[in-house]
Amino acid sequence: MTDATAALVLGASGGIAQAIITQLMSDPEIDIVVAVSRKPAPSHLTRASNTTSAPLWIESEYAEPAMARVVEQLQPFAGHITRVIICHGLLHSDTVWPEKRLEDINANTLQAVFQANTVVPALWLKLLHPILKGKQRCVVAALSARVGSINDNHLGGWYAYRSSKAALNMMLRTLSIEYARRVKNVKLIAFHPGTTDTALSKPFQTSVPAEKLFTTEFVAARLCRIMHDAEIDGQLSYLDWDNKSIPW
Ligand SMILES: NC(=O)c1ccc[n+]([C@@H]2O[C@H](COP(=O)([O-])OP(=O)(O)OC[C@H]3O[C@@H](n4cnc5c(N)ncnc54)[C@H](OP(=O)(O)O)[C@@H]3O)[C@@H](O)[C@H]2O)c1
């Protein structure tokens, strides 16, 4: 058991995740940042400075037994975790590409994208709840996307990504109802970062005006501010980078 406050970043090797880790490392209210990723820590995040300590980096796959072992390792922080940021997201890979038309719909793509975008975040929130519970104020943000808004869908396409983010939002909404009864100290946020300059958005950036393509540092600062100010109200909020609510 430790009295240090901890922040947990899951899916930590991504562009937005790394900027969030850097931001949290300089937050005086956070004593230690714990990062979980399939990949080793990038070298710039392994160094402590005079004012910040290096994150505790845990490598893990995202099958449930491996995730449960990560949660066992986090046991010393039980009751002291004040931030959790779930950064998993899959839009494209060597074998996955967002669908342009209905002929592109493919079971393997749907399964891979739902696994990363919906199933893995849901498993984390199932496995983590006993160690999040406590007297401390704890804010959990899962990286969602505006394209997961059913109301906002006027363009179509991107079947797997859109519907996996809509499913993530519903998963979070359902979890928020049970968390409000059982883990009352936690606030849940589904967060849309805006189009951000990372590997995920890279192939789609040409149509984005320069002023609408955010840096990861900007988005991380916005999210950390929103999490800092969030009220523990037993509700799920679906918010964008400007702290504005997005219609479901
Ligand atoms: N960039 C944007 O414009 C944008 C816009 C809207 C929403 N978002 C959302 O923001 C989040 C972060 O995106 P990013 O731009 O930082 O993307 P990124 O750099 O591609 O990072 C994606 C993260 O997702 C995890 N991941 C990738 N494939 C996975 C899989 N098969 N199973 C489980 N985890 C997997 C990786 O975790 P590991 O550390 O384990 O590799 C990685 O850290 C995502 O949820 C994304 O949908 C991004």
Q: What is the mean pLDDT of each run of 10 residues along the chain (248 residues)?
A: 87 98 96 97 79 88 98 97 98 97 98 98 98 97 98 96 98 98 98 98 94 97 98 97 98
Query: What does each C-alpha distance from 100 to 103, 171, 206, 238 come to in angstroms?
Result: 8, 26, 17, 26
CA angle in degrees (0–180, nearest 5) for 140-193-139: 10
Q: What's the CA-to-centroid distance between 92 and ligand 1, angstroms?
A: 10
Distance (Å, whole) CA 120 – CA 12: 13
Q: Is 98 in the pocket of ligand 1 (CB under 6 A)?
A: no
Query: What does each C-alpha distance from 225 to 121, 141, 144, 146, 220 come to in angstroms?
Result: 22, 12, 17, 19, 9
pTM: 0.97
Which pLDDT belongs to residue 41? 93
Sign of the dihedral through C-alpha 17, 23, 29, 32: positive
Q: By alpha-carbon position, which residue is closest to atom 8 of ligand 1?
A: 145
Which pLDDT belongs to residue 117? 98
Q: What domains, with CATH codes, occur in the chain? A: 6-240 (3.40.50.720)
Distance (Å, whole) CA 5 – CA 83: 9
Sign of the dihedral through C-alpha 126, 127, 128, 130: positive
Which pLDDT belongs to residue 51? 60
Q: By alpha-carbon position, which residue is closest to atom 7 of ligand 1?
A: 145
Q: What's the CA-to-centroid distance between 117 and ligand 1, angstroms?
A: 8
Which pLDDT belongs to residue 122? 98
- DSSP SS3 for 65: helix
Which of 18, 198, 214 gets mutated to test ligand 1 (max ligand atoms within 8 A of its CB)? Answer: 198
Are the CB atoms for 112 and 90 separated by under 8 Å? yes
Which of 16, 149, 246 gets mutated to test ligand 1 (max ligand atoms within 8 A of its CB)? Answer: 16
Which pLDDT belongs to residue 195? 97
Q: Is 198 in the pocket of ligand 1 (CB under 6 A)?
A: yes
Which pLDDT belongs to residue 28? 94
From the CA atom positions of the chain, what is the Rg in Å?
Answer: 17
Which pLDDT belongs to residue 64? 98
Q: What's the CA-to-centroid distance between 76 and ligand 1, angstroms?
A: 27
Nearest atom (ligand 1) to Cα of 142: 45
Distance (Å, whole) CA 106 – CA 147: 19
Which of 67, 104, 179, 164 has its CA nearest to residue 134? Answer: 179
Which pLDDT belongs to residue 1? 52
133: which DSSP letter? -
Which pLDDT belongs to residue 119? 98
Q: Is 236 in the pocket of ligand 1 (CB under 6 A)?
A: no
Which pLDDT belongs to residue 50? 57
Question: What is the number of other CB atoms lying within 10 angstroms of the CB of residue 32?
Answer: 19
Which pLDDT belongs to residue 2? 64
Alpha helices in the chain (DSSP H): 15-25, 64-73, 107-114, 120-132, 159-182, 216-229
